[in-house]
Structure 1
Amino acid sequence: TYLNNNESLKSLDKIVSHAKEMIHKNHQLTTLYNQLSGNVSGSRMDLETYVQRTYLERILIEANNRFYGMSAGQYELHLKNIEQAGEGKNKGLDLMVYSFVTDSEREINTLSGGESFMAALSLALGMADEIKESASGIDLDIMFIDEGFGSLDDHSRDEAVKVLMDMSEGSKLIGIISHVSELKQEIEDQLVVSKDDHGSHVKWQIS
């Protein structure tokens, strides 16, 4: 009986030891999964967002070169600090706007309509630059911008058009869709859409 009990104890020890090892491995895998999927309290940024954040940081470098000029040296876009990625609704890709005038950051939704348009345009151009840089030389040769210029004051509109004109002097074709009459003086080649009782008509107006 003693021998049987001793053998049984040895068998149980092996089973318990194996179970402990499996529980430890399961804990490691669960912890890793929760961390990568952003399910850890206070750290809600998943792996996909982390990678996106890395690319967004590179896009912002190019975007800010243009946003600084369009805003007459007033603004720059910043990513929220990575330590704040689990706070509130911020999951790692939230942007802040830095003001060189006040030397402070504020929420990006505090930008005016015109400033928001300039920020969005700068990000789009920055993304085009990053795609060209990182995607084996792929170049976005054509870009269309639909509206947005009506929300800009005269200075901001002139700065935005200047950036686009500089780009179009290279290999890029920039198309602007707009109802703003002031742009007619800036854009040399136009496809004019008009409407009358017989319907809509288009005609090229080439400089």
Structure 2
Amino acid sequence: MLVQVIDHDLAGEVRGLHNLSGGERFLVSLALALGLSEMSTGQGLRIESLFIDEGFGALDSASLGAAIAMLEQLHATGRRVGVISHIEEVKERIPVKIAVTPVARGRSVVEVLAE
């Protein structure tokens, strides 16, 4: 599948994925996931959960804020949003966290933290 991005910051230039930064690729991936979720709703299906695994570290401050705001908005509509991240700004804005702490011999302690 060929994915191309229309870059409005570059006067509408069409760019392939290989020409995008890590942060731009993450935003494209997030947009595709959100778009597919919305398309499925129109077909009588409802995707209740969305999991995002990292990528936030590749974003600049403005893009990070926009991505988190979009996920918060999605959560406000009743969808479950799971985020895996080590970025402090992301962790601070998520009210319920699942902390996994390794203890020994491949074992971990799992703790649910709610603010």
**Same fold, judged at TM 0.5 (above):** yes
Aligned to 1:154: 61
After superposition, what is the alpha-carbon deviation per residue over 1:14-52, rounded to whole angstroms, capped at 9, x for unaligned?
xxxxxxxxxxxxxxxxxxxxxxxxxxxxxxxxxxxxxxx
C-alpha distance in structure 1 between counterparts of 2:61 and 2:96, whole Å:
21
**Greater fraction helix:** 1
Q: CA deviation at 1:131?
A: 0.9
SS at structure 2 position matched to 1:159: helix
Contact 2:23 2:59 in 1 (8 A): yes
Q: CA deviation at 1:194?
A: 1.5
**Greater fraction strand:** 2
Given candidates 106, 111, 114, the residue that maps to 2:15 is: 106
> Which consecutive unaligned segments of at least 5 residues does structure 2 have?
none
After superposition, what is the alpha-carbon deviation per residue over 1:121-152, rounded to whole angstroms, capped at 9, x for unaligned?
10011001111112xx2111111111211221
C-alpha distance in structure 1 between counterparts of 2:10 and 2:110, whole Å:
48
C-alpha distance in structure 2 between counterparts of 1:130 and 1:95, whole Å:
17
- The structure, 1 or 2, with the larger RCO (C-alpha pairs under 8 Å, 6+ apart) is 2
Aligned to 1:168: 75
Aligned to 1:190: 97
AA matched with 1:201: V
TM-score of the pair, normalised by structure 1: 0.51
Structure 1 segments of 4+ aligned residues over 3 angstroms from their partners: 196-199
Could you tell which deviates more after superposition, 151-160 or 112-121? 151-160
State the Cα RMSD in Å: 1.6
